Amino acid sequence: MIIILQQLLLLLLLLLLLLLLLLLLLLLLLLLLLLLLLLLLLLLLLLLLLLLLLLLLLLLLLLLLLLLQLLLLLLLLLLLLLLLLLLLLLLLLLLLLLLLLLLLLLLLLLLLLLLLLLLLLLLLLLLLLLLLPLLLLLLLLLLLLKNAMRRVNRESMQNIFTKKRLEGAGE
């Protein structure tokens, strides 16, 4: 019975270790996703900077061309509007990426909490495995002590009865 309990506990320990490995792999994947999202954010920031430079150049060109032609001015205004729309879209993408980063960080925190709980469970199981033979030995000692006390009680009761019989026979 002890061997079966120990084997079941060892099997449970192995399953928990496999679950820990899977969680670690999931953590690594989430970290890779975080890195990819950070790279995307950097690329989007670079694009934003380039667009801002383009806007500045276009503004300078507008100032120069205001003196020359009104038609070119209208065209450049249209280009500016398009660039502003692109900037707004990029800003929206940045916000979405930041939200995704926050969600991934929350997932990482949850996984870390789950890992801590699993480690605590593993420690409890190891303590149980270590203490199980000691508890069984203590139980056997208690049973032996109980049987010895019963024998001592029986022998003392028999001694009392035999003394009374001897006293009754002596009278």
**Confidence grade of residue 75 (pLDDT, cut at 50, 70, 90):** confident
The pLDDT tens digits for 119-150 are 999 999 999 888 988 999 999 999 999 998 98
CA distance 88 to 106: 27
What is the token pair recorded at 101?
Answer: 């980063």
Reported as type and span, the H/E element at residue 67 is: none
The pLDDT tens digits for 28-52 are 999 999 999 999 999 999 999 999 9
What is the token pair recorded at 52?
Answer: 């801002």
CA distance 83 to 66: 19
pLDDT at residue 41, rounded to an integer = 95
**Confidence grade of residue 169 (pLDDT, cut at 50, 70, 90):** low
Task: Evaluate if residue 1 carries a pLDDT over 90.
Answer: no
pLDDT at residue 122, rounded to an integer = 95
CA distance 107 to 133: 40
pTM of the model: 0.48
pLDDT at residue 66, rounded to an integer = 77
